[in-house]
Amino acid sequence: MKSVKTTFYLLSILITIMTVSCVKEKSEPKINCSLLLAAFQENDNMRIKSEIDAYLSDLIPEPSSSEIEGHKENTIHLVSELNKCPDIEAELICYACLYSYPSQSVILVSFNRNGKKIVELMNIKNSEKMEFVGIHVY
C-alpha cells in the first residue's frame, strides 16, 4: 500500500513539473521594434526596408500546387511579428493580390506620428526571396 502511495505521489509531482514547463511565454519580436517604429514615423523607406528585409531574409518559400509563390505562411508570420511590436499594428490585406511579376502582398500598418494615428499600406514582393517594395498612404 505504501508503494502505491509513493508511486502516486511521484507521478503527480512529475505531471506538475511537465505541465509547468510546457507553458509558453510570449516570444520577443525578431524585428527591432523601436528602430522600425522610428522609421515609420520618419517616413524613412530605406530604414523600413532594412528592418523588414532583415526579418524576411531567413524565410524560405514553400510552393504547392495551390500556392505557387510559397510565401503565404511567411507573410502571415511577418504580420504576426509586426504585431509583437507594442506601438505598431499590422493586418494582412491580401496575399499575392498585386499581379506584378513577381506578385506582391499588401499589409496595412498603423502607428502614431506626433499623436496622430497613421495608416499606411506596405507592399511585399513574393519572389524567391521576399522583400519590402514600398509603403504608401492608405
Whole-number Å distance between alpha carbons of 132 and 54: 10
Question: Using one digit for the tens of pLDDT, what is the confidence trace for 34-51?
Answer: 999 999 999 999 999 999
Whole-number Å distance between alpha carbons of 61 and 42: 31
For residue 86, is the peptide bond before it cis, meaning its omega torsion is within 30 degrees of 0? no
Grid-cell match 509586426, residue found: 82
The region that residue 84 occupies, defined by phi over 0 for left and psi between -120 and 50 for alpha, beta otherwise, is alpha
Q: Would you place residue 10 in the very low, low, confident or very high pLDDT band (cuts 50, 70, 90)?
A: low
Of the ranges 17-26, 27-36, 37-46, 68-77, the best mean pLDDT one: 37-46
**Burial of 99: CB neighbours in 10 Å, binned 0-12, 13-18, 19+:** exposed
What per-residue confidence (pLDDT) applies to 24? 46
Q: With 80 as the cut, is the pLDDT of residue 1 above it? A: no
The pTM of the full predicted model, rounded to 2 decimals, is 0.76
Whole-number Å distance between alpha carbons of 46 and 54: 12
What per-residue confidence (pLDDT) applies to 5? 62
What strands lie across the sheet with 116-125, from one edge to the other?
89-98, 104-113, 116-125, 131-137
Q: With 80 as the cut, is the pLDDT of residue 16 above it? A: no
